[in-house]
Chains A and B, each alone.
Chain A
Amino acid sequence: MNNCIVSCVSQTEKGFLIQNILISIKGTDHAGIATQTIVEKMLMKETGQTRHDLGREKFVEKIWEWKEDYGGKITNQLRSLGSSVDWSRERFTMDKTCNKAVVEAFNLMYEKGLLYRDMRLGNWSCALKSAISDIEVDYIELEGRTFLEVKSHKGNKNDKNGKYEFGVLTSFAYPVEDSDEKLIVATTRLETMLGDTAVAIHPEDDRYKHLHGKHVIHPFNGRRIPIITDSELVDMSFGTGAVKITPAHDPNDYECGKRHNLEFITVLTPDGAINHNGSQFEGIMRYDARVAVEEALNEKGLYIGKEPNKMRLGICSRSGDILEPMITPQWYVNCDNMAKRACDVVRNGQLKILPEENEKTWFYWLDNIRDWCVSRQLWWGHQIPAWFVTKKGENLSKNDMENNGRWVVSRTEEVSRSGFERANSDRACWVYRLTLVHHCNVGCDEESTRYSQVCSRRDCS
């Protein structure tokens, strides 16, 4: 598609820019997640191995092999289509030139204070075992009780199609410590109760005034869970007016947890099973755990019931898996100022976006931008140019934010000698995305004048 259009644009530009040089550059990106996923599936289909069986180095080698093969196919497609680009300037985002730029950009942004490492709640794709950014999330709306298939799950034993139940609000009771009283809470994600570290009530709620300062007891591990008052989070008129708080697995609870200095207990493993914090449910996949927790609560007489509930589910656009909010250490880019500048250039007419109706979405997105999570727990891509520094014999955790000062971001050869020399192919590299990532560069160059001043059609005609 863009290939035909660029030919047309280039042709007309040629008409206007007689005597000037016009170049059209094509490049392809390395499509980290998509590519890694495809090669992983292929490996599984062909040899029954996972990438972990193969090891990082061998696996990355496999991807390069696949890329050479598939990349050739795309070159062939584009040449067959009669693409008129400067093939000598062809680029691939994993080649040496691009890697140098990536390292430099990472360092510059770090030095400017725009890039930082933080432990926060983000979108976690269990299928990919990686964080993904906000714009890689697709949402599906559930009108009520809905059964869905879930990736990496064997199938719901209670459903004839093996599907899992979503879109219901499940109520259960927490026993209040040293009392016969029970506090009823409700949730759409029952398995998260394994990571509950508070139950919140509204400070003004007369029904619960006698519980201020008291605790409930976790039915599966006996943990003492504080009853806290929070007027921001709790809506007295909704449900029972008591809200379970899982700071490590829900964005609102995360904020509440920070306000009240609660414990953050992560209950999932990277691949979406219940971890060691989940008592007897450890090792069970998360949606199987949802069923198991319901049964276990029922046995204890704490299960109340469930009702259909309209809700929105975040889906990983790269793998189709249902996303989990998880607290993980990641690198983030502060986008506030950059987004403001990107809006300004469109508002003041310096940057034109066609068709024009796209401007509205441009503003909407950039005005509401959040910090960009740029790290991915993958093997295929530009490895982050940051090193965790310890003295010999020291045993510090990389993931402890206390040790954040031990990270060094650098561009030097000395420390960056870590496997990227593989990407040293200067010859034409083409890659595998059928969504053609294509950059057309129309320019002119006479006696090395800066082309920005001379190239727009207005200036040259």
Chain B
Amino acid sequence: MRKAQDILKCAPEEIVLDRDEDVLDTWFSSGLFPFSVMGWPDNTDDLQAFYPTSLLETGMDILFFWVARMVMMGLELTDELPFHTVFLHAMVRDKDGRKMSKSLGNVIDPLEVINGCTLESLLHKLEGGNLPAKEIEKCKSDQAADFPDGIPECGSDALRFGLLAYTVQGKDVNLDIKRVVGYRSFCNKLWNATRFAIEFVSDFKPTSTLLDDLVNSGKMAIRDQFIISRLMAAIEAVNGNFKDYKFGDAQQASYAFWMDELCNLYLELIKPVVYDKSEANADARWAAQATLWVCLESGLRLLHPMIPFVTEELWQRLPGRGTLGADEKDSIMISEYPQCNNAYKNAAAESGMEVTKKIINSCRSLRASYNITNKTLTKFYIKTGSDADAISAQIADIKTLGKASDVEINAAVVPETVGIDVVDDQTTIFMDIKGLVDYNAEIQKLEKNLGKTTPSLDNLEKKISAPGYEENVTDELKQANIMKMEGLQKKVDEIKAAIEKFESLSLLDKN
């Protein structure tokens, strides 16, 4: 009013003020966000304490609409950068790479993935929107094709873990619900495995300094040292990836540790150790339990920011909770994020376990090739050079996972009734199959297979030697045919060798 009087130089009652009816671009107010939320223009405590901020995290699509405006307006109005780092995440698109938009009717509500929903309710949502009738029909048939059974209930943990898996820098996220469903199985696996593992440590009493106690106990087996070393590596990788904003890699590293190393390997290896409650096994059992407890506890904290709900629930169920002293946190949410201690890495244990894994794989593939049932244990002979010591130290683990009744290393005599698998240039494995295999049945099976493979090879040979082949066929195709022929030849040779082998074995049997 005072300004109006200045302009018109007349009495206030003579002045008519007519406010501009228009409004401001939304981005004008959004551009002020980093400091307006702190109470600017008032010099509030929040503004003093928290402005400027550190990180701005938003979608790539609004780099100019929003981020640039905040930087420009922040510099202009507060003379400071509103944040020092901007991280832009990619856009979530549908599985075919199309933008999720109301007009395509392909928008997926996170709640529909978290809670699951029926096809009917997906279709019903389209009707409630603002789409024209003929587009609704098109969207409906698209949705029915994509989600014939609706969307299964995946939970937020799986959705979060899935979205992170997609976060490979700069790439758009073509969200396929099937992949999220896959991570739901991971969450289930995490749940089941941890609950199963908790049984293993149900009589275990952790201490607040358990990891140090364990490492200094002198009771650890190679497998225990191995998994602690891998835990440290996973912690280091996840922290490093978070720091570098490589969220997909962080997700991968934590997933691999839990699935491949903890659940599929370590947990299997310690079963006999934990079940054996004899006095003689007490130390080994304690070390296995302590190692498992440390891995579960740290592993859950490692996963927590990615999978918040299940990890909290499981963490609360770990035995010993509430007995760990004054510093024990009430929730995984406020406990410290795991940090890597390089002193607990163990290269020797890791390489020892690598050798063990190779041998176990070899044992398993031998058993599979002779169709040995799970219930039957088999005897293995291992011929090896430089790995002899490493293997000797791991016989128990090889027996556990290789389903071995016995393992002999560099035995003077190996029976003739064996199946053979070459691990590498150092090591060969022999499995005694005496009495386990019906040679004649095996020979019949192999001959049937040979009967199918040989004609394919003959046909291909004929094709290649036909007149005009050299001139008319592209180099690419020629190359492909040669590869195919080599493959078939190898298969034929292998089958023939196997038949010969069984024939001689069956001869041995008769003798």
Contact = CB atoms under 8 A, between A and B. Distances in A.
Label chain A's interface by main secondary structure. mixed
A448 B49 contact: yes
Interface string A352-364: 1111011001100
A126 B115 CA distance: 41
Interface in B267-324: 304-306, 308-309
A231 B61 CA distance: 41
A440 interface: yes
Contacts of A412: 1-2
Contacts of B7: 389, 405-406, 408
Nearest to A90: B37
Interface stretch (B11-19, B205-213, B432-440, B476-484): B11-19
A7 interface: yes
B26 to A, nearest CB: 4
B339 A15 contact: yes
A435 B61 contact: yes
Given A93-B26, A451-B49, A415 B84 contact: no
Interface stretch (B87-95, B196-204, B453-461): B87-95
Nearest to A439: B33
Interface stretch (A99-107, A152-160, A194-202, A304-312): A99-107
B244 to A, nearest CB: 9
A84 B60 CA distance: 22
Q: Which of A33, A330, A337, A387 is most buried by chain B, counting CB atoms within 10 A of its CB?
A: A387
Contact of A106 (B24, B37, B92): B24
A342 B239 CA distance: 31
Contacts of B55: 9, 440-442
Contact of A383 (B8, B17, B22): B22
A150 interface: no
B256 to A, nearest CB: 17
Given A354-B85, A388-B18, A445 B36 contact: no
Interface residues of A, number: 124
B260 interface: no
A38 B247 contact: no
A414 B89 CA distance: 44
Interface stretch (B65-73, B343-351, B408-416): B65-73
Contacts of B424: none
B33 A391 contact: no
B25 interface: yes
A45 interface: yes
A98 B100 CA distance: 30
14 contacts: A1-B92, A1-B163, A45-B130, A77-B109, A77-B110, A80-B114, A93-B26, A98-B36, A342-B75, A383-B19, A383-B21, A441-B53, A451-B51, A452-B51
Interface of A: 1-12, 14-15, 18, 23, 25, 27, 29-33, 38, 41-42, 45, 56, 76-77, 80-82, 84, 89, 91, 93-94, 97-102, 104-106, 108-109, 112, 114, 133, 135, 320, 330-331, 335, 337-339, 341-342, 345, 350-355, 357-358, 361-362, 365-366, 372-384, 386-392, 394, 398, 405-408, 410, 412, 414-415, 418, 434-443, 445, 448, 450-452, 455-457
Given A1-B173, A440-B53, A451-B52, 17 more contacts: A1-B89, A9-B242, A11-B305, A15-B339, A77-B111, A93-B33, A102-B29, A104-B40, A342-B72, A350-B84, A353-B85, A378-B22, A383-B19, A383-B22, A435-B61, A442-B55, A443-B49
